[in-house]
Structure 1
Amino acid sequence: MAEFALAAAGLETVALRVKNRNLMIEFYRDIIGFNLKREENELAIFGNAKSKSELLWLEESPYAQDHTGEIKKLQRLCLVIPSEKELADVAQRLIKADYPIKDALADNDATGILVEDPEGNQLEIYFGTKSEHQNPTAFNLADLAQKATGEFPRLSDDVHFDKLHLNTSRLKEQQDFLENVIGLKVQDETSGILALNGGNFHVGLTAGQGGTLDLSTDDVLGLDFLQFRVLPTDILALADHLASLNVAFFIDQKKQIITIYDPTGIEWWFISKDKKRH
């Protein structure tokens, strides 16, 4: 059988299951600078300045379990900021809100800020070239904030998620899913971590045990699903490939949407570029 390869798969949406939507809206809109596109029932949908951008969905689930302090499926999200000026504006908003900073690191190629949202999801916000083999040093966030101009009260067109790190109790199965089931190349990064590269997006995998790792995403707060835009031909090719593997998946009648669960229990959505946004 020929090796299956999914063409460029751009990450369009990260969906988080949350308990306090209003508090999370205040963080992602007022501090980080996402545009709140609209609210639909329990959903709050955010993007950058692009009219059709839907980078982040927050789904309020007040009865989901917190599992505060325990290991979660989502280790960290990475948000790319296209300029130092825009990152400086984010830094200024963080300082103005007196928001706690977990880390602020820089080297010759990148500057990054690590925070946790109000429900414990880690968000790395960075400008520059990202590499796993850096030797960054701490910097004073106030020095960066001094460069703020106020030009970017909301995230600009080119802001996007380029990476997420997952914790999994089924490392080898998760790697096989990424590489052989959905057809995206996996490369070794460092000991215990694997990276997936497809288009402008990759995933880090770290082995772990306990916490929410083996629980259904419907029952716990945190990462719910990932949504990708792919070519219409890739939807059909992916459906044929999954069927040949006897892997369980859903495809709609118009053959524009495929959803599949990975071994960690996260749902992956592949949406045809022809599919209209709601």
Structure 2
Amino acid sequence: MTQEIHPHTELGYVKLKVSNLKRSISFYRDVIGFQLLKQDDKTAEFTADGKHPLLVIEEIPNAVVLPERAAAGLYHYAILLPNRKELGLALKNLLRHGIDIGQGDHLVSEALYLSDPDHNGIEIYRDRPREGWKRDDQGNYVMGTEPVDIAGLLEEAGDQEWQGLPPETKIGHVHFHVRDLHQAKEFYHSVLGFGIAGDYRYMSALFVSAGGYHHHIGLNLWAGHQAPFAPPEACGMAYYTVVLPDRAELENILHRLESSGHRPEEKDDAWFVKDPASGVGIRLTMK
């Protein structure tokens, strides 16, 4: 029987590889709305509350920008806003900058989609109240891709000026192209213990989560079965952070990884392991 991951597990900051640090700093500050927390010659950290990092970017030498769906790896990472008004304000700023925006009303949430200058996918979204989320007979969350009420979002924002990301902003979920969905399910569900939030076989996708969330991690085959891993010099996600509630749960996860043949490595007060299906790193830490 699969041992479930602690329901209070959350996501922490993500780290991206970029080709031009200066350009990416401007984008993430002025277009997305992060505050610059720290910077050196090759890296920058961003925050929404002025204290805790949510995004780290690193300029890598001889960076390669891959075409969309060319490899396993990042599909998008998702910035969760606390309410609909903030999503409307974010939309106003994206429109002011002339950003090409995709959108989707997923029933459990409303989402805007875009890419950074290196084609790293970004979702900016807000959740609907959890009591309104529905599951089907198989226990999967009922989700869709309906048009977002753009006019309603802008009306919600009103005449208020955009002030960047609010302090309550979080990394809500991450979504990856994987080489094999069965391998991904084995790793995320059977080993790490994330619950199945949506087994959407008709669309070659699997959503998993902790604590009954609609998804903390999305997994799909849209780059193709057995898609190649991205090369080290490719822009994309270096790693994302899984935050466990206490040391006991962290040690429990590390034990399950080691028992299943994975070898987490300790570095800078955290543990790192690679997702075998996407090639993306996972940083394991505790609150």
TM-score (norm 2): 0.81
Q: 1:237 aligns with which of 237, 240, 252?
A: 252
Going from structure 1 to structure 2, the CA distance change for 1:237 and 1:110 (only over 3 Å counts) comes to closer
Deviation at 1:186, TM superposition (A): 2.6
Q: Are 1:163 and 2:173 counterparts?
A: yes
The residue number in structure 2 matching 1:57 is 56
The residue number in structure 2 matching 1:226 is 240
Equivalent residue runs for 1:119-158 within 5 Å: 119-129=118-128, 133-134=143-144, 136-140=146-150, 144=154, 147-150=157-160, 152-158=162-168
Q: What do the CA deviations read for 1:81-132 (whole angstroms, capped 9, x no partner)?
A: 112322222122112212222x234487643222122111222212232865
The residue number in structure 2 matching 1:76 is 76
What amino acid sits opposite 2:11 in the alignment?
A: L
Q: Percent same amino acid at aligned positions?
A: 21
Structure 2, unaligned runs of 5 or more: 134-140
Q: SS of 1:55's equivalent?
A: strand
Deviation at 1:268, TM superposition (A): 0.7
Q: 2:263 aligns with which of 229, 242, 248?
A: 248
Going from structure 1 to structure 2, the CA distance change for 1:181 and 1:87 (only over 3 Å counts) comes to same
How many residues are paired up? 268
- How far apart in 1 are the matches of 2:263 and 2:107? 46
Going from structure 1 to structure 2, the CA distance change for 1:4 and 1:40 (only over 3 Å counts) comes to farther
The residue number in structure 1 matching 2:272 is 259
Q: What do the CA deviations read for 1:170-211 (whole angstroms, capped 9, x no partner)?
A: 221111110122222234432211111114551111114569
Deviation at 1:150, TM superposition (A): 4.1
Q: Are 1:177 and 2:193 counterparts?
A: no
- How far apart in 2 are the matches of 1:245 and 1:211? 23
Q: SS of 2:85's equivalent?
A: helix
Q: SS of 1:137's equivalent?
A: coil
Q: What do the CA deviations read for 1:228-247 (whole angstroms, capped 9, x no partner)?
A: 22211122222222232232
Going from structure 1 to structure 2, the CA distance change for 1:133 and 1:65 (only over 3 Å counts) comes to same
Q: What do the CA deviations read for 1:132-153 (whole angstroms, capped 9, x no partner)?
A: 5235225446971783444541
> Are the equivalent residues in 1 in contact too, given 2:180–2:225 (CA < 8 A)?
no
Task: Out of 125-134 and 243-252, give the one that drifted further.
Answer: 125-134
- How far apart in 2 are the matches of 1:121 and 1:137? 23
The residue number in structure 2 matching 1:114 is 113
The residue number in structure 1 matching 2:136 is none
What amino acid sits opposite 2:237 in the alignment?
A: L
> Are the equivalent residues in 1 in contact too, given 2:179–2:226 (CA < 8 A)?
no
Q: Are 1:194 and 2:209 counterparts?
A: no
The residue number in structure 2 matching 1:272 is 286
Q: SS of 1:52's equivalent?
A: coil
The residue number in structure 2 matching 1:43 is 43
- How far apart in 2 are the matches of 1:132 and 1:78? 19
Going from structure 1 to structure 2, the CA distance change for 1:206 and 1:23 (only over 3 Å counts) comes to same
- How far apart in 1 are the matches of 2:16 and 2:40? 15
- How far apart in 2 are the matches of 1:140 and 1:126? 13
> Are the equivalent residues in 1 in contact too, given 2:77–2:123 (CA < 8 A)?
yes
Going from structure 1 to structure 2, the CA distance change for 1:100 and 1:249 (only over 3 Å counts) comes to same
> Are the equivalent residues in 1 in contact too, given 2:11–2:173 (CA < 8 A)?
no
Structure 1, unaligned runs of 5 or more: 274-278
Q: Give the CA RMSD over aligned residues.
A: 2.9
